[in-house]
A and B are shown apart, each in its own frame.
Chain A
Amino acid sequence: MLNNMLSRDLPRSKLLAAILLIIIVGLLATPFVFPGARSLNVGAKIAVFIVLAASYDLMLGYTGIVSFAHTMFFGIGAYGIGIASTQMGPTWTAVAAGTLAALILSTVLALGISLFSLRVRAIFFAMITLAVAAAFMTMASQFSDWTGGEDGLNFKVPELISPAFSLSDEKFLGANLDGKLIAYYMVVLISGGLFLLMLRIVNSPFGRVLMAIRDNDFRSEAIGYRNVTYRSLSSVLAAVFATLAGVLYALWLRYNGPGTTLSFDIMIDVLLIVVIGGMGTLYGAVVGSTLFNIAQGYLQDLLKLAQGNIDSLPVIGALFHPDRWLFWLGLLFVLSVYFFPFGIVGKLRAGALAKTRRSA
């Protein structure tokens, strides 16, 4: 059954399987083991970013095209919920309407961009997505009547998943049984479902064609697959999953603004997650997103510690400033593109493979 659920794409490394198991159990147990708002937030963010990063990997790792507009779709999903909830009130109808509208907009935009740019040359795609995403972001802050501009939108969600809702007054294992808990499990479980669906997609015949295009586009075209069609479909699918991730994130935060979902910083975060976790392996998104979100919370503390010791050196000291943590992640990013093109997951799998070969 597990084999079917994972679409016969098993971790293929004992260490990786153990890490994934720890992450899954950790996410499910967070509300009871580490009660508190901060750890719940980190857990939900990890779950959402797993979907976001995995959907990006669908394009980057499996199809070999680079998009810089992925957070645009993430933002469309989040704004869909935000705008629908402020205009129609906190009902499930509003959630459904917002999600549907966001999905339609994302599909149309992704299809338009892909057909327009992938038709000519794949490198156009990277450049054009960068431009479109920048334009979209300025537009989102311009139309402030709808989007709340730079301040963003605070909105209410349906009662069942709002913090005011309460299942019982008593605590269970130290956690409040309230709407926040239900929302947390909704986010984590739906994220898990979406992840398994993506795993199914990349291991289908369709996914194989994507990988063929990635490895040798000339040859796949010669065999008879239309590269443009497959590449466009891949980018539309990625956009759809990113939109759903945005929907989940907005429902969890009950807030959305340009800085939380649309900004280019998030795009860079996703790039870092996918590359460091491992391109072309969806499990990389799980490992990368967990690592990244924990690091985001705690690397800064570590840097603060380090800065205390070398504050006297002029430039080096400035680089250890807690605000410069992106410098270290960027360095890690460049190094991993050079030396570990398949990231942590690729490294673990290669290690496991070498071990079985030695023993065989």
Chain B
Amino acid sequence: MSMSAAIAPAKVEDLPAAPRDWLPILLVPILILLALPLVGSFPTWATLTIAGLAMGLIIFLVASGLTLVFGLMDVMNFGHGIFVALGAFVGVTTISMLGGWTASSSFALNLAAIGCAGLAAAVVAGTVGIAFERVMVRPVYGLHLKQILVTMGGMIVAEQVILALWGPEARPMMRPASLQGSFIFGDVAIEKFRLLAVCLGLAIFAAMFLLLNRTKLGLLIRAGVQDREMVEALGYRVRFLFIGVFAAGSALAGLGGTMFGLYQELVTTAIGAQMMVLIFIVIIIGGLGSVGGCFVGALLVGLASNYIGFVAPKVNLFSSILLMVLILLWRPQGLFPVAKR
């Protein structure tokens, strides 16, 4: 009797829930609260916090694709920054073509202009991403050293092509009329565009979270990150998944480029390399291959660089590195280590 009871399969409800690791997520509110006495005045702090969140979410857009690509196929794409630069330049061109829409004071038309620019950037960057995967990455699977060299070389070449197409001058990137200026709540001034960036970033994060956690495709991607060979043994072609993720990651990087261009209101070819540094710090902090970790890491880096940029501008970039060092001392594999890697 007791034997058969032991053999009976456990019901789903009987299984213990997977333990959630809340500690890293708590770091974000802790950092925000710690910064308040450091910054001193509440209105400045609120402005900096929104700016940090906006920047963090833009970084997340760009970094999420890179970390998934690494998780799935063990490919570290050092040329990822080129999609950012490409997206920014396509965005500039699109927005300047839609001059009528951006100049009008109608919020809907302005939003449509940004939407078109983002879409164009995503489509172009995604297409180039597929080509980049085919030409640059595919011949060097499994060879880390060559991957780094080839993708870096690809970045050099692509950067020169962008320079040839758009010219070497920095392009100013105007925000549409109704997104210029700030909302004023009492003493607190919040730039309208930053608020939009926060909303957009959160929406995309939510969509990605649902896709990864609630669909079969997402299940396969997550499983592939955990153990590629097992998923292949079950009959799924992780290679196709990978191409899809690579294209989607490049498209998101392109969108992130447009947003970052609007955030800085200036676009240069250096935008890609500039962002690459932050992206690497973010995905190392998050744990290579982890999207959740990438999200937390991006917010931390965005916030820290805005706070420190205000308190001690000279050591701004070192603040992100210091943050990374501290987190790696605490968890050497990043905030959310991915199994096996």
Binding site for B on A (CB under 8 A): 60, 64, 66, 116, 119-120, 122-124, 126-128, 130-132, 134-135, 138-139, 142-143, 264, 268, 271, 275, 315, 318-319, 321, 323-324, 326-327, 329-331, 333-334, 337-338, 341
Contacts and interface: CB of A to CB of B under 8 A. Distances in A.
Contacts, number: 102
15 contacts: A124-B284, A127-B76, A128-B284, A130-B280, A131-B281, A131-B317, A139-B314, A142-B314, A271-B149, A324-B163, A327-B157, A327-B160, A327-B161, A333-B156, A337-B149
Interface size class of B (residues with CB under 8 A): 35 or more
A66 B164 CA distance: 29
Contacts of B152: 268, 271
B184 interface: no
Contacts of B315: 139
B317 A134 contact: yes
B150 interface: yes
A89 to B, nearest CB: 28
A130 B277 contact: yes
A275 B153 CA distance: 11
A66 B148 contact: yes
A126 B78 contact: yes
B321 A334 contact: no
Nearest to A319: B164
A319 to B, nearest CB: 5
B57 interface: no
B134 interface: no
Interface string B254-273: 00000000000000000001
Contacts of B164: 315, 318-319, 321, 324, 327
The 7 A-B pairs of least Cβ separation, nearest first, read A327-B160, A330-B156, A318-B164, A135-B317, A334-B153, A330-B157, A127-B280
Interface string B110-150: 00000000000000000000000000100110001110111
B148 A126 contact: yes
A116 B329 CA distance: 9
A296 to B, nearest CB: 15
Interface string B276-316: 11001101100010000000000000000000000000111
A338 B150 contact: yes
Contact of B168 (A120, A323, A331, A338): A323
B145 A131 contact: no
A268 B149 CA distance: 10
Nearest to B283: A127
Contacts of A116: 325, 328
B30 interface: no
Given A127-B283, A315-B164, A327-B156, 13 more contacts: A66-B148, A116-B328, A127-B280, A130-B276, A131-B280, A131-B320, A131-B324, A134-B277, A134-B317, A135-B318, A275-B149, A330-B153, A331-B157
B172 interface: no
B154 interface: yes
A105 B174 CA distance: 44
Contacts of A126: 76, 78, 148
B76 A123 contact: yes
Contacts of A321: 164
B332 interface: yes
B148 to A, nearest CB: 5
B149 A127 contact: no
A132 B325 CA distance: 11
B165 interface: yes
B333 interface: yes
Contacts of B154: 334
A338 B139 contact: yes
Most chain-A CB neighbours within 10 Å: which of B140, B160, B333?
A: B160
Given A327-B164, A331-B157, A334-B153, A120 B328 contact: yes
Contacts of A124: 284
Contacts of B333: 120
A341 B149 CA distance: 11
